[in-house]
């Protein structure tokens, strides 16, 4: 429950500190005194977006801090889900800086507004005029029925399977679309792939073939030059080998005369060895050379094939052609496996459909089972609240489709008068009736949902007399299980509170500020008497106020 609230530099509030108790707390004050400001500050704690215009002094930051005692409310899983440290005394702080930036903290850990909203929904339920209108939405009506039906786990399971179902459907559509497109290209891609496979591509082959072709195509010229070189090296009269052998012999005789001659001798000897080696290789090359027209034709044909493939695929070399072949293999393989993959997805969708149908039926049956009891409880509360002929007609139809919260189509119809036709809530009930219906719904929900705090913002608008007395009684009854706040203008409701807070405005140094004070004893009697008869207190108003309080 909410145990303390601190507001600094927000709207008309300069610095407000308030402590709260459990049970039923009343908040009163004249119109414009600042009750809506209090709610606005609380809304920021619950994750509402900040507005720079909210700052009282736009040169200072606004700080709103709330303390919650949540020891008894099983909220640790929510903290774990949002990666927050759980504290039984949890402090939420919101800051709005003069720059317009906003910061939020839970137990001094920075959090996003999304996390703050998730946590806030489990801490305080603020009932406002907007929420009364929300009551006519399907989503809210399902929340009411589901709270009574106890289908939280089934809905979690359903949601998980619905997510998988949608993902599989999305993948199936993508694959089916791809198949339609791929089938058009499959035959052509298969032809291109087969052509490359038959070519038996080898990385680096092109360069090797081009070299072999040049050799075979110029074999006579090559042979002529090699033969001439062989003769020049080996001629007995003028051959390089003979001449260099004589030079070596000459220097062998003078090598011992100086280091210089010795070095020249060694160099001549090394050159002669190298020249003999060159001669051997030329001789071997000459023996290996042989014209081969058939091989020349084979190499030429192979080169032509490779060049045509390079040109066809706009490739620069064999490596790139091999990459293109691999890519075509992937495309053809994917296309050929599409039927298998599509069948697998269809089977997965069928499996998820079966689970969703089963869960949808379970949820439907549980919802259907509590509708008579919900109807009886709501109508009983409305009888108390001065609507003796109020009736609900709640129907639930199991549909073929898969919705976010099950397979049900809900009709939540209402009739306020005897013999009247059933219509949607927003067409069958007035504003005052909607407020009473919402109170009845909240009263029923309080028996089934664990919520630390609920705050009613003038839910008694449009009612008076005995009805307002009954409304106060219902809120008082709810406060036995939870902390209840009621902002009210009705003395009958105000008198039922366990504690009473008053919001008031005062002018200090020509600046208007809003403040909050706890009333007790005679101060509370006076406040309720003024609510009954205005600022001029009469003895009858004071007596009536004491009677209401007693």
pLDDT at position 274: 86
What value does the mean pLDDT take over residues 465-487?
90
Does residue 349 surpass a pLDDT of 90? yes
pLDDT at position 57: 85
pLDDT at position 130: 61
- Determine whether 427 is exposed, middle or buried from the number of CB atoms within 10 Å of its CB (0-12, 13-18, 19+): exposed
- pLDDT band for 517, please (50, 70, 90 cuts): very high
pLDDT at position 292: 66
User: Which residue from 109, 79, 74 is spatially nearest to 92, judged by alpha carbons?
Assistant: 109
Q: Do 151 and 367 form a contact (C-beta atoms < 8 A)? A: yes
| CA dihedral of residues 431, 436, 440, 442 (deg, nearest 10) | 60
Percentages of the chain per state (helix, strand, coil), in multiples of 5: 60, 20, 25
Distance CA 276, CA 273 (A): 5
Does residue 232 surpass a pLDDT of 80? no
Cβ neighbours of 468 (radius 10 Å): 22
What is the token pair recorded at 4?
Answer: 């303390």
Distance CA 455, CA 484 (A): 6
- Looking at the chain, the whole-number percentage of residues with pLDDT higher than 90 is 37
pLDDT at position 291: 63
What is the token pair recorded at 15?
Answer: 């610095």
Q: For 208-230, what is each residue's pLDDT tens digit?
A: 887 767 767 767 777 777 777 77
- The chain-wide mean pLDDT, for the chain, equals 86
Does residue 103 surpass a pLDDT of 90? yes
Q: Do 331 and 188 form a contact (C-beta atoms < 8 A)? A: no
pLDDT at position 188: 78
Given CATH 3.10.310.50, say whether it is the number of domain 1-123+452-519.
Answer: no
Q: Which residue has the tokens 């049956």?
A: 365
Q: For 240-254, what is each residue's pLDDT tens digit?
A: 777 777 778 888 888
- Determine whether 548 is exposed, middle or buried from the number of CB atoms within 10 Å of its CB (0-12, 13-18, 19+): buried
Distance CA 119, CA 486 (A): 22
Residue spans per domain, the chain: 1-123+452-519, 176-337
Does residue 148 surpass a pLDDT of 90? yes
pLDDT at position 237: 65
Q: Which residues of 24-50 are buried (b: 16+ CB within 10 A; e: fewer)?
A: bbbbbbeeebbbbbbbbbbbbbbbbeb
Q: Do 382 and 470 form a contact (C-beta atoms < 8 A)? A: no
User: Which residue from 431, 456, 422 is spatially nearest to 442, judged by alpha carbons?
Assistant: 456
**2-10 and 13-19 as β-strands: parallel, antiparallel, unpaired?**
antiparallel
Whole-prediction pTM value?
A: 0.67
What value does the mean pLDDT take over residues 330-353?
85
Q: For residue 411, report the phi and psi dihedrals to the nearest 5 degrees.
A: -120, 120
Distance CA 421, CA 427 (A): 11
Q: For 442-465, what is each residue's pLDDT tens digit?
A: 899 888 877 789 999 888 777 777
Does residue 107 surpass a pLDDT of 70? yes
pLDDT at position 239: 74
pLDDT at position 256: 81
pLDDT at position 496: 93
What value does the mean pLDDT take over residues 68-86?
88
**Where is 222: in which H helix or E strand?**
helix 219-234
Least confident of 280-289, 397-406, 426-435: 280-289
User: Which residue from 220, 208, 209 is spatially nearest to 290, judged by alpha carbons?
Assistant: 220
What value does the mean pLDDT take over residues 42-54?
86
- pLDDT band for 286, please (50, 70, 90 cuts): low
Does residue 500 surpass a pLDDT of 80? yes
């Amino acid at each position: 429950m909410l145990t303390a609230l601190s507001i600094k530099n927000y709207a008309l509030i300069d610095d407000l500190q308030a402590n709260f108790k459990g049970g039923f707390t009343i908040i009163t004050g004249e119109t414009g005194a600042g009750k809506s400001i209090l709610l606005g500050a609380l809304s920021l704690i619950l994750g509402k977006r900040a507005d720079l215009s909210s700052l009282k002094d736009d040169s200072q930051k606004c700080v709103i801090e709330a303390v919650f005692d949540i020891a008894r409310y099983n909220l640790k899983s929510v903290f774990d889900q949002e990666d927050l440290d759980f504290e039984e005394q949890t402090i939420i702080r919101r800051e709005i800086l003069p720059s317009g930036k906003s910061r939020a903290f839970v137990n001094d850990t920075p959090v996003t507004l999304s996390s703050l909203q998730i946590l806030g929904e489990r801490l305080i339920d603020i009932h406002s005029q907007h929420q009364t209108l929300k009551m006519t939405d399907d989503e809210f009506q399902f929340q009411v029925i589901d709270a009574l039906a106890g289908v939280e786990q089934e809905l979690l399971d359903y949601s998980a399977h619905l997510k998988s179902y949608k993902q599989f459907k999305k993948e199936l559509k993508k694959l089916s679309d791809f198949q339609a497109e791929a089938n058009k290209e499959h035959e052509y891609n298969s032809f291109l792939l087969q052509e490359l496979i038959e070519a038996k591509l080898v990385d680096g082959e092109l360069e090797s073939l081009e070299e072999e072709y040049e050799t075979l195509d110029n074999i006579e010229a090559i042979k002529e030059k090699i033969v001439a070189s062989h003769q020049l090296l080996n001629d007995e009269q003028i051959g390089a080998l003979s001449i260099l052998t004589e030079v070596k012999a000459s220097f062998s005789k003078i090598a011992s005369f100086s280091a210089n001659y010795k070095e020249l001798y060694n160099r001549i000897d090394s050159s002669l060895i190298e020249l003999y080696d060159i001669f051997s290789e030329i001789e071997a090359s000459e023996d290996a050379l042989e014209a081969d027209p058939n091989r020349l034709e084979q190499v030429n044909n192979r080169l032509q094939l490779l060049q045509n493939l390079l040109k066809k695929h706009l490739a620069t070399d064999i490596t790139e052609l091999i990459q293109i072949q691999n890519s075509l293999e992937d495309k053809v393989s994917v296309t050929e496996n599409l039927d298998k993959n599509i069948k697998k997805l269809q089977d997965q969708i069928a499996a998820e459909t079966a689970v969703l149908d089963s869960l949808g039926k379970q949820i439907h049956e549980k919802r259907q089972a509590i509708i008579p009891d919900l109807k009886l409880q709501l109508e009983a509360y409305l009888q108390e609240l001065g609507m003796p002929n109020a009736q609900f007609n709640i129907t639930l139809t199991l549909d073929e489709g898969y919705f976010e919260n099950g397979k049900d189509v809900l009709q939540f119809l209402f009739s306020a008068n005897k013999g009247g036709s059933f219509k949607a809530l927003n067409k069958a009930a007035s504003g005052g009736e909607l407020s009473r219906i919402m109170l009845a719904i909240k009263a029923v929900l309080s028996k089934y949902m664990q919520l630390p705090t609920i705050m009613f913002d003038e839910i008694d608008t449009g009612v008076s007399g005995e009805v307002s007395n009954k409304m106060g009684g219902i809120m008082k009854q709810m406060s036995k299980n939870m902390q209840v706040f009621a902002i009210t203008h009705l003395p009958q409701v105000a008198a039922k509170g366990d504690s009473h807070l008053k919001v008031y405005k005062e002018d200090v140094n020509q600046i208007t500020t809003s403040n909050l004070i706890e009333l007790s004893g005679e101060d509370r009697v006076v406040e309720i008497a003024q609510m009954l008869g205005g600022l001029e207190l009469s003895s009858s108003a004071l007596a009536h106020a004491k009677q209401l309080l007693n």
